[in-house]
Structure 1
Amino acid sequence: MFVLELTYTAPVERVDALIPAHVEWLDAQYAAGVFLASGRKNPRDGGVILAGGVGREEIEKIVATDPFTVEGVCAYRIVEFYATKSVDGLAPFRDELPA
C-alpha cells in the first residue's frame, strides 16, 4: 500500500486552476480501484492519497500523469508500507510481511 503526499510548489492560485483536471484524474484512479482515500492537508499546503493494489512502478507512472505533476505545481513523496492490519473494507489490500 502507498501513502502519496503532495506538497504544493506553486502558488495556490495555480493549483486551484488545475483542480478540475486533478479531480478527473483522481476519479479515474478510484474507478480503476487504485485510490482508496484522498484529500487536502491542513494547513492547505498539499494533499494525501492512500493507494493500493499495484506495485511501486505503477504508482510512479500514475503519479507522473497527475495534472499537478505535469504542470509542475506539486512534488510527490511516495511512501510504501505493508498494510498488515486494516478495517474489513480494506481487507483486499492487506499485505503480508516479506520473508
Structure 2
Amino acid sequence: MPGHVAYLERHHATGVFLISGQTVPPSQGGAIIACGIDRTDVELITGEDPFVIAGVAQYSVTTIQAGRHHPALAALLTR
C-alpha cells in the first residue's frame, strides 16, 4: 500500500492526476481522473503502479473528450 500511495501522490504532485479514490463499494477497486496527457502516456504511467507490477490490479483506460464542464474546471481542462 505505501508504494501505491507514493505513486498516486507523485502523479497528483505533477498535476496529471486530478482525482483518485476508491469506488463504492471499495471491493470494486478505484478510479483516477487524469488530464493533460495522452492515452499512450497514461498507459505507461498506469503500468508503473506498484499494484500493477505486483499483479494485484489492472487498469482500464477510458478516454473522453469533455463536451461540457463546470466553469471552475476550465483552467485544468485547457492546460
Q: TM-score, normalised by structure 1?
A: 0.71
CA distance in 2, matches of 1:25, 1:89: 27
Of 15, 22, 34, the residue aligned with 2:4 is 22
Q: CA deviation at 1:30?
A: 0.6
Of 35, 38, 48, the residue aligned with 1:52 is 35
- Unpaired stretches in structure 2, ≥5 consecutive residues: none
Matched, 1:42 2:21: no
Letter in 2 for 1:72: G
Q: Which protein, 1 or 2, shows the higher relative CO under an 8 Å CA cutoff with sep ≥ 6?
A: 1
Equivalent residues in 2 for 1:1-99, closer than 5 Å? 19-44=1-26, 45-91=28-74, 92-94=76-78
Paired residue total: 76
Q: CA deviation at 1:88?
A: 2.9
Higher gyration radius (CA): 1
Give a deviation string over 1:9-44, Cα, whole Å, max 9, x none: xxxxxxxxxx21111000110111100011101112
CA distance in 2, matches of 1:51, 1:31: 12
Letter in 2 for 1:78: V
- Unpaired stretches in structure 1, ≥5 consecutive residues: 1-18, 95-99
Moved over 3 A (4+): none
**More strand per residue: 1 or 2?**
1
Instruction: State the Cα RMSD in Å.
Output: 1.2
Q: TM-score, normalised by structure 2?
A: 0.87
